[in-house]
Structure 1
């Protein structure tokens, strides 16, 4: 007879509704001394873990599509996402990790072929402001950063951030002394500047002056080795992307930019030298070099040719060697042009 009175298993929608009730309670009773608060917090953490199991499955079972759909629909039917993000600082570490994975997974869940998370964030852009400002709080920075990157999967989200004042804040956040947080910021920064090609090209064209002034002076010229190395890699990824060809031509027509790249080629770090080379070759290959670019390359011709003669990778790489040979030919050709004048 006992089996007749077993509690009915909760549906994914039930778990979401109960989670929402608990989040509302935790949010309203943040500083309360209610003896039930601890009990409700434990219940909340257990619920978030269950949500994660529904979305990801576990060692014994794969996620069920229908269950994921029901969970997603209920999650975005009311403000559960908002509550979860706002209450994240109040959760314990394990629950923070679980919540981060839940929010990440929801960005990819389709309901009737639509990413409803995208529609929700479009209507609740202030949540993105909250996630970005999370980089200022060590306790939640990495969790909010991971959530933010998943949200950037949506082009409308990336466009909002690129066009907002937050883009200027990223230059401050990259210089945060905490290595883990600064690295996380850099990953998010790169994602913003490389994922959605047309949106990025539009942003760089509209914001060229201030953006590259900041990028050159604060990142490429940073006293921090890791910052310089990551920045030159991001620069190469941006300029070598075909969708940014107009921006690339503008960048490689500046003598100030060329001087920065030549200084990076002289770095003691082989990694920085290699990444700098991938950008420097664009200056050399430009068939419409402004006279000041030609003049700088010609003046430094002998030094550059000596440098490239000894410049090798640890492992053989045919593409690298071909690129290097092309750069050497371009620099040697400058001598012929000048001697024939």
Structure 2
């Protein structure tokens, strides 16, 4: 009799839907006054497992390669609703390992194609405020490296890189690169470099419109920095920028 009631294996879409429900719970209740600590702990553990399962579907599990159809199903369901938004907004509320897994899931989804469409790019174009959240993450030591890694994957899309380049956030990078925390400053520098080198036509357009203020800041704050590593890295980047222009 025991074998008659085995539960059906979850499909990739099922995993996404259950993850979304858990993210909604965590977003609403995690750390809130009056929340049941035991229930919250159970939900957090369940969420961590689900995000780990998403990662396994997208990357494979060490023994098996990812299955294309499973990745397509996962991606379609993921972007059917606001799962990406929920995942990003819940990063500060989950534990370190789940943050790492979440970062890998977001990174992989930027590359997934469904019928030659990159759904992640389309979603981000319609939800550009998420880029604001990721960039501002450099101001929070708890999530800076996770949000920074996500951001670099998002700006693989030319339209998203253009949005960041044309936003007021570009000026903030001159501060982020000089944050006293070495790891965060290095991460911000890597993102800054990616923004200024990946999409050459977009970078050339940005520099043609913003040459004066950009290089005034670049020269006075980065090339003249007392930090040797900052000065060395920006010297090379400056040459690339001049070439792009």
Out of 207, 211, 223, the residue aligned to residue 208 of structure 1 is: 211
Equivalence for 1:117: 120
Could you report, residue by residue, the CA deviation over 1:151-171 in whole angstroms, capped at 9, with x for unpaired residues? 000001000000000000000
Q: Following the alignment from structure 1 to structure 2, what is the Cα–Cα distance between the partners of residues 56 and 4? A: 33
Equivalence for 1:313: none
Equivalence for 2:198: 195
Could you report, residue by residue, the CA deviation over 1:132-165 in whole angstroms, capped at 9, with x for unpaired residues? 0000000100000000000000001000000000
Could you report, residue by residue, the CA deviation over 1:220-265 in whole angstroms, capped at 9, with x for unpaired residues? 000111110110111122233xxx2xx3xxxxxxxxxxxxxxxxxx
Structure 2 residue 25 is the aligned partner of structure 1 residue 22: no
Equivalence for 1:69: 72
Q: Following the alignment from structure 1 to structure 2, what is the Cα–Cα distance between the partners of residues 204 and 3? A: 66
Equivalence for 1:7: 7
Equivalence for 2:154: 151
Q: Following the alignment from structure 1 to structure 2, what is the Cα–Cα distance between the partners of residues 52 and 3? A: 29
Per-residue deviation at 1:60? 1.0
Equivalence for 1:60: 63
Query: Where in structure 1 do 4 or more consecutive aligned residues deviate above 3 Å?
Result: none
Out of 235, 239, 243, the residue aligned to residue 236 of structure 1 is: 239
Per-residue deviation at 1:93? 0.5
Equivalence for 1:161: 164
Equivalence for 1:78: 81
Structure 2 residue 189 is the aligned partner of structure 1 residue 183: no
Per-residue deviation at 1:126? 0.1
Q: Following the alignment from structure 2 to structure 1, what is the Cα–Cα distance between the partners of residues 101 and 215? A: 38
Structure 2 residue 224 is the aligned partner of structure 1 residue 221: yes
Per-residue deviation at 1:59? 1.2
Per-residue deviation at 1:2? 3.1
Q: Following the alignment from structure 2 to structure 1, what is the Cα–Cα distance between the partners of residues 6 and 233? A: 57
Q: Normalising by the residue count of structure 2, what TM-score does the alignment of the two structures yield?
A: 0.97
Per-residue deviation at 1:209? 0.3
Q: Following the alignment from structure 2 to structure 1, what is the Cα–Cα distance between the partners of residues 240 and 162? A: 19
Q: Following the alignment from structure 1 to structure 2, what is the Cα–Cα distance between the partners of residues 206 and 94? A: 42
Higher relative CO (Cα under 8 Å, sequence separation at least 6) belongs to 2
Q: Following the alignment from structure 1 to structure 2, what is the Cα–Cα distance between the partners of residues 80 and 201? A: 34
Q: Which secondary structure does the structure 1 equivalent of 2:65 belong to?
A: coil
Q: Normalising by the residue count of structure 1, what TM-score does the alignment of the two structures yield?
A: 0.70
- In the alignment, structure 2 segments of 5+ residues that lack a partner are none
Q: Following the alignment from structure 1 to structure 2, what is the Cα–Cα distance between the partners of residues 214 and 30? A: 41
Could you report, residue by residue, the CA deviation over 1:258-313 in whole angstroms, capped at 9, with x for unpaired residues? xxxxxxxxxxxxxxxxxxxxxxxxxxxxxxxxxxxxxxxxxxxxxxxxxxxxxxxx
Question: Mapping of 1:268-287 within 5 angstroms?
Answer: none
Q: Following the alignment from structure 2 to structure 1, what is the Cα–Cα distance between the partners of residues 145 and 54? A: 21
Q: Following the alignment from structure 2 to structure 1, what is the Cα–Cα distance between the partners of residues 3 and 114? A: 35
Per-residue deviation at 1:5? 2.0
Q: Which secondary structure does the structure 1 equivalent of 2:79 belong to?
A: helix
Question: Which shows bigger deviation, 86-95 or 231-240?
Answer: 231-240
Q: Following the alignment from structure 1 to structure 2, what is the Cα–Cα distance between the partners of residues 233 and 94? A: 35
Q: Following the alignment from structure 2 to structure 1, what is the Cα–Cα distance between the partners of residues 233 and 2? A: 63
Corresponding pairs, count = 242
